[in-house]
Amino acid sequence: MTNALTVSDLTLTFPDGADRITALHHVNLHVRGGEIAAITGPSGSGKSTLLATVSTLLRPDSGRVELETDSGTVNLAELSRRDAATLRRNSIGIVFQQSNLVPALTTIEQLEAMVHLGQSWFVSPSKRREVRARARDLLHAVGLTGHENKRPAQLSGGQRQRVNIARALMNDPSLLVIDEPTSALDQERGAAIIDLITGIVREHGAATLLVTHDLSHLDQMDSVYRMVDGVLTQQKAVIAA
């Protein structure tokens, strides 16, 4: 799979009375499939705004967000709302800071719902079996075999975050964006989640952006950026293979 994300001269402003606040200021970055670009920086500096813009949840004022896949290259910044929603569902995996799991759904149903969203009410039995098999495989990959029928209230914080990661991978995304995956976990569980993410990204080949305040994991990242007041600077570059 050939995946890559290229962000070029990305700028986003928000209204502030008669003026405008610059949230992203001419941001540039590049991350290839199977690599993780970490983004650090103080709270309120624009890190989560960048993730939201790259994943089509916010539309920039200017600049390009190019996602390269086997099907070609698309500028996400130019998509209509409908096209953005379709691409987000099919090609972008989002891991929010909070797991946002549906309380009434079991672990395996959380993953299956990602595939059935936007589909017609009728799903063939063979498709259902295929989806369930993929969900089981992903739960096994994140160490949750045996927890398929548990609901979120029956899982620990670390287990819920593992479900969150598996759910984001259900549609085999070309782009994975991850916002503070260890913020609610202790150091040991946080380290386990980072190890899990790095292994999953290498295996699945998604171009990955990961926002983090935990600097202890940066040596596992392929590149490191720091954002301050909407300005992104590279701290660690990818070493060419």
Task: Compute the Cα dihedral for 133, 139, 141, 143 and give only its sign.
Answer: negative
Give the contacts of 222 (CB within 8 A, at least 6 positions apart). 31, 35, 36, 37, 238
Q: Name the pTM for this structure.
A: 0.89
pLDDT at 1 (0 to 100): 57
Burial 60-72 (b: 16+ CB within 10 A, else e): beebebebbbeee
Please report, in tens digits, the pLDDT of each residue of the chain (241 residues total).
589 999 999 999 999 888 999 999 999 999 999 999 999 999 999 999 999 999 999 999 999 999 998 889 999 999 999 999 999 988 999 998 877 899 999 999 999 998 876 555 566 788 889 999 999 999 998 999 999 999 999 999 889 989 999 999 998 899 999 999 888 788 888 888 899 899 999 988 999 999 998 888 999 999 999 999 999 999 987 765 5
Amino acid at 213: H
pLDDT at 118 (0 to 100): 58
Give the contacts of 78 (CB within 8 A, at least 6 positions apart). none
pLDDT at 70 (0 to 100): 84
Q: What domains can be seen in the chain, in order of their start residue?
A: 4-236 (3.40.50.300)
Distance separating alpha carbons of residues 63 and 148, to the nearest angstrom: 42
DSSP one-letter code for 18: T
pLDDT at 122 (0 to 100): 64
pLDDT at 236 (0 to 100): 81
Token pair 């369930």: residue: 132
pLDDT at 58 (0 to 100): 95
Token pair 């290839």: residue: 32
Give residue 114's Cα distance to chain centre: 14
pLDDT at 99 (0 to 100): 76
Amino acid at 174: S
Q: What angle do CA 121, 147, 141 make, to 5 degrees?
A: 85
